[in-house]
A and B are shown apart, each in its own frame.
Chain A
């Protein structure tokens, strides 16, 4: 649909290759490309495109900062189903970040297009 190049300033670690992190040296950015992405570090990006959160499910370590970037032509929001976090409307290329300090499963959706659902699992 559009240019899906992702730029991530900080990224950590791919533990198991099966989970689909792109190869990257430690100094270079990389991007998650598959569902079930797993990170143990401090920052990870979720892309919003084609009315979807990609990856739809991520597993991260406590303390990880997750950044959502809207790559769609339409505004979206990131909103916890339990109101634990909530972004303003994100227009194209705008982003929102939240740091997950407490382990648990955090389901969220786009409050403008509630069919868009996804989750963050914090370990």
Chain B
């Protein structure tokens, strides 16, 4: 946490030289907020009472990730139950989310039965729609054919697509297909070409939200936590004043702000993974049962058009922890 930026002296309110690294382990993180272009950070313990103000806005949506239905090892023998807790938490929000994003690894082994279980559980979700992108666990044996039949109707290529909601342009990308030996996540030429075309007609004032499973930025390439051609994708988004990138895959919250782009990863609803480099491998972390739900969660996102901020609120699944675990917000221009 030593390199968290506590203030921003740049006149435009965005730090362009360095970046913010903010890792918020549930219960032990730092709150990082960009407010009106000024970055602020707070100790987690100082968050009480700020929750509801951040839930007011023109567009609220929720991100869940990495439900890994079918996983049954020691790190979490009942991933369906913890997904249900996440669903209950979403249904209990004071504001009904316009939609829910699931950023991949819906299943553990791409099995019919796993997708069925997920679908059954998500039926109880009170929201307008659910939008998906696949994780590598969803496309294991059939190059994602079943995934696309279930969740990718009307998508392009391997399952990428975009849509507009209340003036915000959302882009779902697929970076878990055709992975090369020794490489990271991959978008591929066809998808990059589509992306360039997809955003070419948009005004630069349009807020952009990109979501994909594997982080588009290099979180920890040694563990494969990055996307080989992610930087190429971001070059197509340079003209936009506000770009938010939402990813899963690493089962923990991380944030980075770089130029006009805010990067954010979400917790898993299934099991936690270790912080980069802190374990021999990125395998599931086995934690005491009573601690598990503090390391799982949902992300609640909120565009607050009035004061030009995007607030990101991560909540753990622990019953007693109704406050957010961490917040970040980035300026939205031209809303």
Chain B interface helix/strand/loop/mixed: loop
Among the listed A51, A52, A89, A115, which residue makes an inter-chain contact with B109, where contact means beta carbons less than 8 Å apart? Answer: A89
| B74, B181, B183 pick with most chain A CB within 10 angstroms | B181
Q: How far does the alpha carbon of A7 sit from the alpha carbon of B223 in the complex, in Å? A: 29
Is there an interface contact between A89 and B141, defined as CB atoms closer than 8 Å?
Answer: yes
User: Shortest Cβ distance from B111 into chain A, in angstroms?
Assistant: 9
Number of chain B residues whose Cβ lies closer than 8 Å to a Cβ of chain A: 25
Is there an interface contact between B280 and A114, defined as CB atoms closer than 8 Å?
Answer: no
Is there an interface contact between B181 and A73, defined as CB atoms closer than 8 Å?
Answer: no
Is there an interface contact between A112 and B137, defined as CB atoms closer than 8 Å?
Answer: yes
B-chain residues with CB within 8 Å of residue A52 when the two chains form the complex: 281
The residues in A between 100 and 117 inclusive whose CB is less than 8 angstroms from any CB of B are: 107-109, 111-115, 117
Say yes or no: is A99 at the interface (Cβ < 8 Å to chain B): no
Q: How far does the alpha carbon of A89 sit from the alpha carbon of B282 in the complex, in Å? A: 18
Number of chain A residues whose Cβ lies closer than 8 Å to a Cβ of chain B: 23
Say yes or no: is B29 at the interface (Cβ < 8 Å to chain A): no
A-chain residues with CB within 8 Å of residue B275 when the two chains form the complex: none
Is there an interface contact between B180 and A114, defined as CB atoms closer than 8 Å?
Answer: yes
Among the listed A1, A91, A107, which residue makes an inter-chain contact with B281, where contact means beta carbons less than 8 Å apart? Answer: A1
B-contacting 9-mer, from A8-16, A36-44, A59-67, A74-82:
A74-82
| B108, B137, B140 pick with most chain A CB within 10 angstroms | B140
Is there an interface contact between A73 and B283, defined as CB atoms closer than 8 Å?
Answer: yes
Is there an interface contact between B137 and A81, defined as CB atoms closer than 8 Å?
Answer: no
Q: How far does the alpha carbon of A99 sit from the alpha carbon of B179 in the complex, in Å? A: 25
User: Shortest Cβ distance from A71 into chain B, in angstroms?
Assistant: 11
23 contacts between A and B (CB under 8 A): A1-B280, A1-B283, A50-B281, A51-B223, A72-B283, A73-B75, A73-B283, A74-B283, A75-B109, A88-B141, A92-B73, A108-B181, A109-B182, A111-B179, A112-B137, A112-B179, A113-B136, A113-B224, A114-B181, A114-B183, A114-B184, A115-B182, A117-B181
- A-side residues, CB < 8 A to B, are 1, 50-52, 72-75, 77, 81, 88-89, 91-92, 107-109, 111-115, 117
- B-side residues, CB < 8 A to A, are 73-75, 108-110, 136-137, 140-141, 179-184, 221-224, 280-284
5 closest pairs, A vs B, by CB? A109-B181, A51-B281, A50-B281, A89-B140, A115-B224
